[in-house]
Structure 1
Amino acid sequence: MKWIEPVRLSGKAVRLEPLRAEHQVALQDAVADGALSGLWFTKIPSPDGMGEEIARRLALQDAGTMIPFTVQDIATGKALGMTTFMNIEPAHRRLEIGSTWYRASAQRTGVNTDCKRLLLTHAFETLACIAVEFRTSSFNRASRAAIERLGAKLDGVLRSHQIVEGNILRDTYVYSITASEWPAVKKNLSVLARD
């Protein structure tokens, strides 16, 4: 058995379903809510590019470096976005939570808190991770604020780390939560869930 396998996770507001090709139409609808693919500082698929993005993520899952999820609203079954366990390092019991996006109408709601609580609980309590990492663009202030709100700590900035739209070099902020920090972060997430 592999260290990490696709799994279904259910919370208060969201369910994380292992990504499947059949999710394409629902995810096309979700990504069209807010024209998310127009954000220049991050890579979010366009509705037309969703099939290719699903295939890319599933190929990375087959390679053992990613476990992708479709984020669904429990009450309606509606697709809210995508998230992943990525950069999986079984030998070091580390992974990154990333490649996350939510439809505009689900942003700044309890969706991200519930989603991250599910992923972090699985990472630390089932997989016994030593650390979980988050990365985001220096220009993605909303993402940075959301990561910091979770309780992750800034490890550093990778300067000129990636080339984004228009050949612009992106600085990447790297955050993490360690296993010793998880109990406090878990408590914080339960408080945030009540807000």
Structure 2
Amino acid sequence: MSQLVSIEPPVLESDSIIIRPLQQGDARYLFSISYPEVWTYMFGEIKTEIEMEKHVSKKIKLRNQMKALPFVVVLRETNEIIGTTSIYEINLSQRSCEIGATWYASKFLRTFVNSECKYLLLNFCFEELKMIRVQFKTDERNVRSQKAIERLGAIKEGILRKERILENGYIRNAVVYSITDDDWGKVKQVILEKKHENNIVKECT
């Protein structure tokens, strides 16, 4: 991982949200906004605050090992944590990475938050880290996640069969999507146009 990533993990900001590095102290609040459906398609379910603290510790350890960049998503207006996301599988020699492990508090589902968050992350990956490929993977059963990724303009590449064994023993298939540097200009334009439309709606309500 480059010095840009390893020495000072980035803080990414827009008018509406802030994406900042995950801290151990965030575990308590993340647990308070989590709900059972969050863990349906994740590797394992987090049922207690102690489990969330261990989960956050593992993510921070990956960052310290320069294997991932875990974040919390903060609503600028209230300064409240509303979700979490990560950049991982970072391969600077191949100029590729993956965005995932993303979830939000239930009241922010199907709002501007996901597109705003993904825009900031993708902009960082393509324009700061100079990636040529950003990948997304999701459980084949998770149709809502697939639709959200497709709305970003990511290209569906196929299905990885029996890609992972979840903690509950379920062997999942994973749907793989990607955005390349060739796609980024168009994807960026589409996201910015949607953001402009959302701002107009907010002003009229």
Q: TM-score, normalised by structure 1?
A: 0.93
Q: 2:75 aligns with which of 73, 76, 86?
A: 73
Match of 1:180 in 2: 182
Match of 1:4 in 2: 5
- Higher Cα Rg: structure 1 or 2? 2
Deviates more, 1:123-132 or 1:159-168: 159-168
* Residues 167, 35 of structure 1: alpha-carbon distance in 2 compared, 3 angstrom cutoff: closer
Asked whether 1:22 is paired with 2:25, we answer yes
State the distance in 2 between where 1:37 and 1:177 align: 25
Matches within 5 A, 1:1-195: 2=3, 4-5=5-6, 6-31=9-34, 34-39=35-40, 41-43=41-43, 45-48=46-49, 49-193=51-195, 194-195=197-198
Q: CA deviation at 1:69?
A: 0.3
Q: CA deviation at 1:120?
A: 0.3
Q: CA deviation at 1:163?
A: 1.2
- SS state at 2:138 partner: strand
Count how many residue pairs are aligned between Structure 1 and Structure 2: 192
Amino acid at match of 1:12: D
Q: CA deviation at 1:84?
A: 0.6
- Contact 1:153/1:177 (<8 A) preserved: yes
Q: Which structure 1 residue ranges, 5 or more long, are not aligned?
A: none
The one-character-per-residue Cα deviations of 1:19-51 (angstroms, maximum 9, x if unpaired) are 1111122211221xx433452x32353442210
* Cα RMSD after superposing both structures: 1.5
Q: Which structure 2 residue ranges, 5 or more long, are not aligned?
A: 199-205
Greater than 4 Å deviation, 4+ residue runs: none
Q: TM-score, normalised by structure 2?
A: 0.88
